[in-house]
Each structure stands twice: as C-alpha cells, then as structure tokens.
C-alpha cells in the first residue's frame, strides 16, 4: 500500500529503531506512518524456513540484559535459552566454562578449565563483577582504550584471552582484533552478566514483528522504496508525502545516502554456515568457541536452545566466520568444533551478511544527535551502540525529540531509561 499524500510523521525504516519511534508516537496519539523497502518488519532481524528449519539472517541472539528489552513482551516470544557460558576446546577435549550463579553444577569443571591459573580465573571473575555491577556512569567515565588493552589490564592472562575472550567477543563485536572501545566492552559484558541469551520460537524476525503488531497495519507500508527525504516530505516511486516530521531509521549506509550530512557506516560482516546433524552431540545448550588460528569464531547447536528451529528433532548447527568463506573451507573445522565426523554434517545453507553492524572503536560515541533540524530526524544503532539495545534506545530518544517538535510546550514522557 502506498503512503498517503499527507501524514503527521513518516518513519523511513521498519527495523527496531524505526518501530521503536513509531510505536511511541502512535501511543501518544500521533498520525505516524512507517515505510520500508523490505517485505517484512524487523530490519536486519530476518528469518526464513528452509527445508522446515528456521534460519535467521546470520547467527543472532536475544539478550535480556539490554535495558530496552523492557519495551517488549518477552513471554510472548516463547523464548528458548542458551546456557550462560561457552565450550572451549583444548588438548583434544571439550571443556565447559559457565557462570556458576546460573549453573552451580558446572562450577568445578569451570574452575578446572584450561583458561590459566586460579589467579587468572579470579581476575576474570573480578572483571565480570566490575562490569556487571558497577554503576553505568562509572563504567562510561573509566579510562577508554581498546577492548584488548582493557582485558590485558584486568590480568585475565594470555591463555584466557586467546581461548575464551577473543573468540567469544569476536562473535559479538564481529572483529577479532578487539579494537572495540573498552567502554562498549564493559556494556556488552554487563549485558551477559545481568541477562540471559536465547532465541524466540518464531525466529529473531518475530522481535520486530511484535513491535510492528502494535501499529495499525494500514500505517505500515512494506515493499516501498524511499528515493528522497527532507524534513517536510518523503518521495517514493508512487509519489510524495508531506509531513511535519520525517525520521530516517534505516541501515547506516542507506541513512548516509538519503541524508548526506549523516556520517554512518556498518563495516562489520559475518558469514554463517548452517548444517544439520541427526542429533545434537551435546548435553547442554552452550556455544562452542573457535580455536586459535582457526577460521570459525563460534559454532552452536541453535536447536538445543530453541527446539522450534528444527522441524523434526534433528540438530541445526550455526557456525560463523568473520570473513566470507565457502562451506567446503570450514566443513572440517565445524565438525571438529561439534566433535562429529564431517560426513555427519548436512549442509543446509550459508549466509554472508555485509553491513552487519557499525564499529564501536574509541572514542565511543554514545547518544549521537538524532534531531538534524528542520523536521528531519535520524536514528539507528549507529547513533548509540551497535546492538538491539542501541537501535531501540536511539528510537526512544528520537520519539521524544519528535514529540518535542510537534508539541514544544507539552510534557514529553521519558519512556524509561534510554
């Protein structure tokens, strides 16, 4: 359905940032329309069925440690949960490293894990306690450096750095040099300490669809590509819509193309290979970390955490690399990570996601401006942190800014912490 000729607010982009804006404006009684070139709501959160298996666009997870998750109905997502920790391979054996608060039965194996001396493990615990429980204001005022420098300063040790932190964080930050800001490292680690990680029964796309479901379906316009914007209008192939405010909530590259003054990019990428096994080789739903010198950053049986991803009880395995790879190049490595024969692996599909997320290198730029003046606004994770949290937080900030413009003398609800 094309956009109307006139709307109070037009939001360009039906990802989490744009939907966060739109749902807040709609709740405030504003006439808001959302437009997106894609055929579904959710932006980069995209899922599809392949041979009955549920496949997300790259290996993505839902983290309840993000503050903005409070905006969602988590129970309605019917979550399946990963264990808090990871499996590490060393000396030909798989070792579980878990958070003893949530998995007390795994405490002894974690203490004995090949991540260095007890002193080094105590340093890891100290780093985790600091990130998890110090006030965010203190974390953000700490000396900023690279993530690698911060971890070395925390004395986690070389063994833990290479066997655990580097591959684990590479899968989150989508870069293995750990050049990401130490302040963002603290925020990311805090979310893992305080939250749980899992997958919705209907796939990650259902997170965006839940937000879109709060809007009048006649005001969500999919498969409509926007050609030009300014603070008063949006032009598509079917015509021009005038508005009192226009919000560009697209991916960073599209935002920069539509608004040349916006500096935004998403240089991180990831390739995920999906395989099927007759059954899971593991007893617990833990991510398996890549080994030093290998191409994989991680490999995980996603159906162990969320059985709904499999149609028939077989195991769905997702294995990721930071550079584009062919399945044949990593097949043996996937088999070793899962402790199976490569002959047992049935290749389902492979997905390379370019522009997967922005970089967060020093200096970390939190809460970049969203009000560009003249009725034009921009939001997305490139305005906050490269995450679901960053997208939704920037959307919340933008909604408040739009409401201030539309009703400059009215009290604007804060909507909770950003």
Q: Which of 357, 179, 353 is nearest to 267 (CA)?
A: 357
Name the pLDDT band for 412 (thresholds 50, 70, 90). low
Where are the domains positioned within the chain?
A: 6-46+204-266+367-406, 47-110+196-203+267-357, 115-194
Say yes or no to pLDDT of 99 above 50: yes
What sign does the CA torsion over 132, 136, 139, 145 have?
Answer: positive
**252-295 pLDDT tens trace:** 999 999 999 999 999 999 999 999 999 999 999 999 999 999 99
Q: Which of 126, 129, 98 is nearest to 111 (CA)?
A: 98
**337-382 pLDDT tens trace:** 999 999 999 999 999 999 999 999 999 999 999 999 999 999 999 9
Name the pLDDT band for 415 (thresholds 50, 70, 90). low
Compute the distance between CA of residue 203 and CA of residue 206 in angstroms, rounded to an integer: 6
What sign does the CA torsion over 118, 121, 125, 131 have?
Answer: positive
Name the pLDDT band for 408 (thresholds 50, 70, 90). confident
Compute the distance between CA of residue 264 and CA of residue 383 in angstroms, rounded to an integer: 8
Q: Which fold has domain 47-110+196-203+267-357?
A: Polyamine Oxidase; Chain A, domain 2 (3.90.660)
**155-183 pLDDT tens trace:** 999 999 999 999 999 999 999 999 999 99
The pTM of this model reads: 0.94
The three-state secondary structure class of 274 is: strand
- In a 10 Å sphere around its CB, with 0-12 CB exposed, 13-18 middle and 19+ buried, how is residue 189 labelled? buried
Q: Name the residue with tokens 């490595």.
A: 333
> Does 3.50.50.60 match the CATH number of domain 6-46+204-266+367-406?
yes
The residue ranges of DSSP E strands in 15-110, in sequence order, are 32-35, 47-50, 53-56, 62-63, 79-81, 85-90, 93-98
pLDDT at residue 416 in the model: 46
pLDDT at residue 334 in the model: 98
What is the mean pLDDT of the segment spanning 385-399?
97
What sign does the CA torsion over 99, 105, 109, 112 have?
Answer: positive
Core vs surface per residue 33-48: b (16+ CB within 10 A) or e: bbbbebebbbbbbbbe
Q: Name the residue with tokens 């994770």.
A: 381
Say yes or no to pLDDT of 413 above 80: no
What is the mean pLDDT of the segment spanning 111-137?
97
Longest Cα–Cα distance of the chain, Å, equals 68
pLDDT at residue 112 in the model: 95
In angstroms, the Cα distances linking 119 to 12, 116, 141, 199 are 52, 8, 27, 35
The percent of residues above 90 in pLDDT, for the chain, comes to 96
CA atoms within 13 A on the CB side of 333: 23
Compute the distance between CA of residue 84 and CA of residue 303 in angstroms, rounded to an integer: 16
Average pLDDT, the chain: 96
Q: Name the residue with tokens 């260095």.
A: 116
Say yes or no to pLDDT of 417 above 90: no
């Amino acid at each position: 359905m094309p956009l109307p000729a006139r709307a109070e607010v037009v939001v360009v982009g039906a990802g989490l940032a744009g939907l966060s804006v739109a749902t807040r404006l709609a709740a405030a009684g504003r006439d808001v329309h959302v437009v997106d070139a894609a055929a579904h709501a959710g932006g980069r959160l995209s899922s599809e069925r392949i041979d009955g298996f549920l496949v997300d666009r790259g290996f993505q997870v839902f983290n309840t440690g993000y503050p903005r998750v409070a905006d969602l109905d988590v129970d309605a997502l019917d979550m399946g949960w990963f264990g808090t920790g990871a499996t590490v391979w060393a000396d030909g054996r798989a070792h579980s490293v878990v958070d003893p608060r949530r998995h007390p039965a795994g405490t002894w194996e974690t203490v004995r894990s090949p991540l260095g001396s007890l002193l080094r493990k105590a340093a890891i615990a100290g780093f985790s306690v600091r990130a998890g429980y110090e006030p965010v204001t203190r974390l953000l005022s700490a000396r900023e450096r690279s993530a690698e420098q911060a971890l070395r300063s925390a004395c986690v040790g070389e063994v833990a750095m290479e066997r655990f932190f580097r591959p684990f964080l590479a899968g989150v930050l989508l870069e293995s040099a750990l050049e990401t800001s130490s302040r963002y490292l603290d925020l990311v680690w805090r979310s893992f300490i305080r939250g749980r990680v899992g997958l919705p029964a209907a796939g990650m796309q259902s997170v965006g669809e839940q937000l879109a479901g709060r809007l009048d379906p006649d005001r969500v316009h999919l498969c409509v590509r926007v050609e030009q914007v300014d603070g008063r209008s949006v032009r598509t192939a079917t015509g021009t819509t005038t508005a009192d405010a226009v919000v560009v909530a697209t991916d960073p590259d599209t935002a920069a193309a539509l608004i040349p003054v916006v500096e935004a990019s998403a240089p991180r990428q990831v390739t995920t290979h999906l395989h099927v096994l007759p059954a899971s080789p593991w007893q617990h739903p833990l991510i398996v970390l890549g080994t030093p010198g290998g191409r994989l950053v991680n490999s995980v049986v996603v159906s162990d955490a969320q059985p709904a991803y499999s149609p028939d009880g077989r195991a769905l395995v997702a294995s990721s690399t930071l550079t584009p790879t062919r399945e044949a190049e990593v097949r043996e490595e996937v088999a070793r990570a899962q402790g199976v024969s490569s002959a047992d692996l049935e290749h389902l599909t492979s997905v390379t996601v370019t522009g997967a997320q922005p970089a967060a290198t020093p200096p970390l730029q939190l809460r970049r401006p969203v009000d560009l003046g003249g009725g034009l606004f921009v939001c997305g994770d490139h305005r906050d942190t490269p995450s679901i949290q960053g997208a939704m937080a920037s959307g919340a900030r933008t909604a408040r800014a739009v409401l201030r413009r539309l009703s400059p003398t009215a009290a604007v609800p804060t909507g909770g912490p950003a």
